[in-house]
Amino acid sequence: MVNSRTPLIAGNWKMNGLLGDGRARAEDLAKRMQGAANPGFEMLLCPPATLIAGTAAAIEGSGLLLGGQDCHFNSGGAHTGDISAAMLADFGCSHVIVGHSERRADHGEGDDLVRAKATAAIEAGLIAIICAGETEAQRDAGKTNDVVAAQVRGSVPDGADGSQMVIAYEPVWAIGTGRTPTEAEVQDVHAMIRATLAEVTNDATAQSCRILYGGSVKPDNAAGLLALADVDGGLVGGASLAAADFWAIAAAIG
């Protein structure tokens, strides 16, 4: 972690939660955030679409940030079941996740589509959290860097700067499994992503863009992962569903 980049701890609630528990979790975190004089990090909640309005009400005035888990690449129109970036912004969202591996797998999303979604997000004034990560088979074949670099090259919109996007490195095999790469492996991939960003954008963007690690981040491994030079925060799934665990992960930032 480098001081010039404010750490971002993002909770991806995925397809979990009904009105009651989502609201209780958001209220709990809002209280913790309000009680933290100088937290030294940004904390972002990305609930499912049905919980965005309730979460917005629960965190109002707390300093917590709100984000969506996906958006359409168009600004509106005949797209049944989809949500536009402008609709997310309308509810007070500042961020949206695009290209999560679960969407790449469940919905066949490829880099071109992810880039179009990130572009739509930025046009709507949102920060796009662009996800990339290798499968276990790709890792075993020694292709991690090639795969992740190609996803970053293919998914980052032309001209995007470090205030408009965040990259999340999430090895697919580490998501929800309790397994993570070693800290040295995480740092190597993050440094490679930053070098790739410098190639496809410019040095200033590469230096200012936050790169989050995601995949089985828990209170007991957070301090080591978040201290790495090119890790600027975490994208947390399972552990973001318990307010105390999620807060403990953020509090692990040294």
Part in contact with ligand 13P (CB under 6 A); list of ranges 53-61, 80-88, 145-153, 235-243: 235-243
Least Å from the CB of residue 216 to ligand 13P: 4
Distance CA 66, CA 157 (A): 22
Looking at the Cβ atoms of 70 and 111, the one nearer to ligand 13P is 70
Whether residue 100 lies in the annotated active site: yes
Phi, psi (degrees; rounded to nearest 5) at 222: -65, -45
216 binds ligand 13P (CB under 6 A): yes
Q: Are strands 8-12 and 127-132 parallel, antiparallel or unpaired?
A: unpaired
93 binds ligand 13P (CB under 6 A): no
From 42, 72, 95, 100, the catalytic residue: 100
Least Å from the CB of residue 34 to ligand 13P: 25
Q: According to CB under 6 A, which residues from 160 to 179 bind ligand 13P?
A: 170, 175-176
43 binds ligand 13P (CB under 6 A): no
237 binds ligand 13P (CB under 6 A): yes
Distance CA 9, CA 28 (A): 16
Whether residue 27 lies in the annotated active site: no
Looking at the Cβ atoms of 47 and 237, the one nearer to ligand 13P is 237
Q: Using an 8 Å Cβ cutoff, are 188 and 168 in contact? A: no
Among 1, 12, 96, 124, binds ligand 13P (CB under 6 A): 12
DSSP string, 139-190: HHTT-HHHHHHHHHHHHSPTT--TTTEEEEE--GGGTTTS----HHHHHHHH
Residue type, 212: L
235-237-238 Cα angle (round to 5): 145
| Binding site residues, ligand 13P, CB under 6 A | 12, 100, 170, 175-176, 214-217, 235-239
> Hey, which residues are catalytic here?
100, 170
